[in-house]
């Protein structure tokens, strides 16, 4: 089959590889009908995530048709149309039972690696380095789905691939980021980063009752998208032309936003001296993450407010203003998304027509064009916000 | 390890206060190297100023060689403490299953190769004795030994030991207890080397990191087998590289 494979930083190619096989009794094989490139794939593309191996198959946002099931699979049968959550979760451990699927104890075959780095291992993830299990990803014609009874969500035929594909990651991720803000009537929510996750965080914050959402980015196409789909309930700030702290203070009557969402993560595009400081430290491996957005968020957040982190961080970040967070009594919430927890209710929202997630798609490509897709998405060229791939 | 760690607890009491090792191995090594360099540097200088350098070097050398620091002793610091029992290997895990299920899996000695792939076979030879055949990673050599169960308290504790004709002198303890808040069963495994000198000690020390990882993985596999019925794997999946 054809698959999008990682070879090195900025070296992604479409290669012919063997078809996946059932390896365990709870496995299923899915014929992929559509996949997408995620913003977090760009961290791999940039070479920022360690333990990738040349030849690894990428992709953790995909969906398709079940073509084979292992001997112990009970909830799926051949022919089912499913969306695959990016988190691989056994469904049996204490964490899965609590609905904390991204913390699954049992799905990472390389648990010992994150145990060295993080103390304990999170769940395995498709196509996201050997530290996260080394599972072959879904930017391919076929993908093997482990623990198939507690992952894939069956979707009705009336909904198109484009409407349901993002249940695999970015819609639940944006939704969980907004839900973690515990939004109350009158709350002002600020969202840093208007990539696909930021777009869904904004939509979710509005659905969860935010008074207004203030969206922050520097890419005009993304800010235009926010305005176009938010019915006048958002304001946008381009951080290259305004001072974000002052503008937010002004827009919130001097209080600051009640909740702030970081949909940027470890590769922020900072300006000024601190930006060069982080780039230099990252380049010589003294720091793995550039937390510029997070620093600004902690400073800008209202007293007693909530900071909700959806953007991916991987290792060590410098100069987090913990004193500001402490003395303003901020609540910090974060983590990989518990995708399976959100999929059913978000599917219902799509079925009821409350949201059509396909609005973020700007580029529809063939699987073979994936290398160009990575390039456009990374460089934000050609108005690129979200790329889907069709095998 | 509340049930079987009396030896460890005893060793935590500082014996022989004045002579005890209280410097960590790495620091000892640097003391030796640094002291040696300083002493040599000092001795090769003829000036009077070289005397304090030589003396400082000699003091560091002594410190490194004995592993004892009087300053640490005065301060009540014992930097060597985490390394006190460098040969014992321990691992623990909580399994979301009733204690009876967990005990049954570990009591099934013949089934232990499922948990620890370096074990080829474990065979019951009667009288609570077992014959073990293993191949150690990276060494390739097949090792065989015999053990006897010393203590067996169903759903609480298993304790077995090597018999005298075995190539090593070891004891294993597996303790089971219900986890708080209905979280399943806590399992604690400890493998103890009961040797104090000789080539066996050198081998055991060299193997320690490997032994530690093997036991941790074994404990992890017992959890995964009991909770999900399978081991997560990526062996045999496609990739764009030679298999």
| Nearest neighbour of B229 by CB, restricted to A5, A53, A72 | A72
**pLDDT at B66 exceeding the cut of 90:** no
Query: Can you tell me the mean pLDDT for A168-177?
Result: 98
Structure confidence at residue A104 (pLDDT):
98
Beta-carbon separation of B231 and A24 below 8 A: yes
**pLDDT at A70 exceeding the cut of 90:** yes
Kindly write down the DSSP assignment for every residue of chain B, as one continuous string.
-TTT-HHHHHHHS--STTT---S-HHHHHHHHHHHHHHHHHHHH--STTHHHHHHHHHHHHHHHHH---HHHHHHT--TTGGGSSTT-EEEEEEESS-HHHHHHHHH-GGGGGGT-TTEEEEEEEETTEEEEEEE-TTT--EEEEEEEEEEEETTTEEEEEE-TTSSS-EEEEEEEEEPGGG--EEEEEEEEE---SSHHHHHHHHHHHHHHHHHHHHHHHHHHHHHHSS----TT---SS--
Structure confidence at residue B9 (pLDDT):
37
Structure confidence at residue B94 (pLDDT):
98
| C-beta atoms surrounding A208 within 10 Å | 16
Q: What's the pLDDT band for B47 if we cut at 50, 70, 90?
A: low
Structure confidence at residue B7 (pLDDT):
37
Query: Can you tell me the mean pLDDT for B216-232?
Result: 97
Higher-pLDDT residue of A378, B68:
A378
Span of A127-141, A194-208, B36-50 with lowest mean pLDDT: B36-50
Q: Considering the entire predicted model, what is its pTM?
A: 0.85
Beta-carbon separation of A133 and B232 below 8 A: yes
Chain A environment of B239 (Cβ under 8 Å):
5, 17, 53, 55-57, 136
Count how many Cα atoms sit within 13 Å of the Cα of residue A322 in the half-sphere of its side chain: 3
Chain A environment of B236 (Cβ under 8 Å):
21, 23
Query: Can you tell me the mean pLDDT for B94-108?
Result: 98
To the nearest whole Å, the CA of A198 is away from the closest chain B CA by 32
Report ipTM (2 d.p.).
0.93
Triad A313, A214, A225: Cα angle to 5°: 85
Structure confidence at residue B174 (pLDDT):
98
Structure confidence at residue A282 (pLDDT):
78
Q: What's the pLDDT band for B5 if we cut at 50, 70, 90?
A: very low
For the sheet containing B89-95, what is the strand order?
A: B89-95, B185-193, B170-178, B157-162, B142-153, B129-135, B119-126
Q: What's the pLDDT band for B70 if we cut at 50, 70, 90?
A: confident
Chain B environment of A111 (Cβ under 8 Å):
220
**pLDDT at B6 exceeding the cut of 60:** no
Cβ-in-10-Å burial (0-12, 13-18, 19+) of B199 comes to exposed
Query: Can you tell me the mean pLDDT for A371-378?
Result: 97
Testing the interface with A: which of B233, B239, B241 to mutate, by most A Cβ within 10 A? Answer: B239
Chain A environment of B98 (Cβ under 8 Å):
none
Nearest CA in chain B to A19: B238
Nearest to A4 by CA among A43, A49, A45, A40: A45
C-alpha span between B163 and B146 (Å, rounded)? 6
**pLDDT at B28 exceeding the cut of 70:** no
Structure confidence at residue A110 (pLDDT):
97
C-alpha span between A42 and A51 (Å, rounded)? 15
Beta-carbon separation of A109 and B227 below 8 A: no
C-alpha span between B36 and B60 (Å, rounded)? 8
Q: What's the pLDDT band for B10 if we cut at 50, 70, 90?
A: very low
Structure confidence at residue B18 (pLDDT):
45
Higher-pLDDT residue of B48, B161:
B161
**pLDDT at B83 exceeding the cut of 50:** no
Read off the tokens for A54. Answer: 């040349």
Nearest to B149 by CA among B125, B165, B133: B125
Selection from A140-149, B5-14, B51-60, B130-139 with the highest mean pLDDT: A140-149
Query: pLDDT digit string (tens) for A277-312?
Result: 788 777 777 777 888 999 999 999 999 999 999 999
C-alpha span between B241 and A95 (Å, rounded)? 34
Q: What's the pLDDT band for B8 if we cut at 50, 70, 90?
A: very low
C-alpha span between A195 and A43 (Å, rounded)? 14
Mean pLDDT for chain A overall? 96
Query: pLDDT digit string (tens) for A250-260?
Result: 999 999 999 99
Testing the interface with A: which of B232, B233, B234, B235 to mutate, by most A Cβ within 10 A? Answer: B232
Nearest CA in chain A to B183: A94
Structure confidence at residue B41 (pLDDT):
67
């Amino acid at each position: 089959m054809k698959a999008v494979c990682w070879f090195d930083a900025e070296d992604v190619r479409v290669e012919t590889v063997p078809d996946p096989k059932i390896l365990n009794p709870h496995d299923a094989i899915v014929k992929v009908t559509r996949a997408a490139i995620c913003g977090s794939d760009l961290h791999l593309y940039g070479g920022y995530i360690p333990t990738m191996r040349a030849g690894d198959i990428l992709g953790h946002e995909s969906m398709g048709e079940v073509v084979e099931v292992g001997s112990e699979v009970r909830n799926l049968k051949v022919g089912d149309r499913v969306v695959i959550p990016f988190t691989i979760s056994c469904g049996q451990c204490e964490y899965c039972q609590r609905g904390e699927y991204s913390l699954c104890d049992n799905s990472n075959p390389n648990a010992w690696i994150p145990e060295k780095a993080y103390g304990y291992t999170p769940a395995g993830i498709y196509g996201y380095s050997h530290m996260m299990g080394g599972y072959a990803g879904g930017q391919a014609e076929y993908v093997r789905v482990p623990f198939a009874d507690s992952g894939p969500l069956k979707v009705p035929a009336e909904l198109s691939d484009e409407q349901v594909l993002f249940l695999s990651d970015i819609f639940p991720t944006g939704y969980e980021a907004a839900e973690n803000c515990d939004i109350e009537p009158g709350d002002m929510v600020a969202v840093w980063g208007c990539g696909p996750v930021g777009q869904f965080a904004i939509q979710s914050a509005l659905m969860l009752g935010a008074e207004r959402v203030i969206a922050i980015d520097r890419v005009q196409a993304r800010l235009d998208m926010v305005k176009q789909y938010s019915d006048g309930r958002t304001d946008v700030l381009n951080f290259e032309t305004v001072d974000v702290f002052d503008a937010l203070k002004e827009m919130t009557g001097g209080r600051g936003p009640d909740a702030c969402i970081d949909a940027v993560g470890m590769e922020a595009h900072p300006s000024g001296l601190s930006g060069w400081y982080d780039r230099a430290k990252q380049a010589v491996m003294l720091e793995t993450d550039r937390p510029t957005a997070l620093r600004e968020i902690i400073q800008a957040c209202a007293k007693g407010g909530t900071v909700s982190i959806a953007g991916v961080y991987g290792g060590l970040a410098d100069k987090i203003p913990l004193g500001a967070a402490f003395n303003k009594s901020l609540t910090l919430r974060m983590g990989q998304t518990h995708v399976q927890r959100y999929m059913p209710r978000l599917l219902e929202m799509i079925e009821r027509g409350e949201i059509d997630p396909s609005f973020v798609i700007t580029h529809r490509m063939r699987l073979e064009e994936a290398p160009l897709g990575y390039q456009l998405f990374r460089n934000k060229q050609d108005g690129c916000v979200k790329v889907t791939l069709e095998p | 390890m509340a049930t079987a760690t009396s030896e460890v607890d005893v060793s935590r009491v500082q014996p022989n206060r004045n002579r005890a090792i209280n410097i960590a191995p790495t620091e000892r090594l640097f003391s030796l190297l640094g002291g040696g360099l300083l002493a040599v540097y000092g001795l090769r200088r003829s000036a009077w100023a070289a005397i304090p350098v030589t003396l400082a070097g000699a003091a560091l050398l002594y410190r490194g060689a004995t592993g004892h620091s009087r300053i640490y002793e005065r301060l009540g610091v014992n930097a060597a403490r985490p390394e006190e029992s460098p040969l014992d290997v321990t691992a623990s895990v909580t399994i979301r299953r009733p204690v009876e299920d967990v005990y049954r899996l570990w009591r099934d000695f013949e089934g232990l190769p499922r948990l620890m792939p370096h074990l080829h076979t474990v065979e019951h030879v009667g009288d609570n004795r077992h014959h073990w055949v293993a191949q150690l990673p990276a060494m390739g050599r097949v090792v065989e030994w015999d053990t006897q169960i010393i203590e067996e308290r169903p759903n609480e504790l298993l304790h077995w030991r090597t018999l005298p004709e075995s190539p090593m002198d070891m004891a294993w303890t597996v303790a089971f207890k219900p986890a708080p808040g209905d979280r399943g069963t806590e399992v604690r495994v400890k493998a103890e080397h009961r040797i104090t000198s000789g080539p066996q000690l050198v081998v055991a020390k060299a193997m320690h990191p490997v032994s530690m990882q093997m036991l941790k993985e074994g404990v992890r596999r017992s959890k995964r087998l009991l909770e999900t019925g399978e081991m997560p794997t990526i062996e045999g999946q496609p990739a764009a590289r030679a298999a």
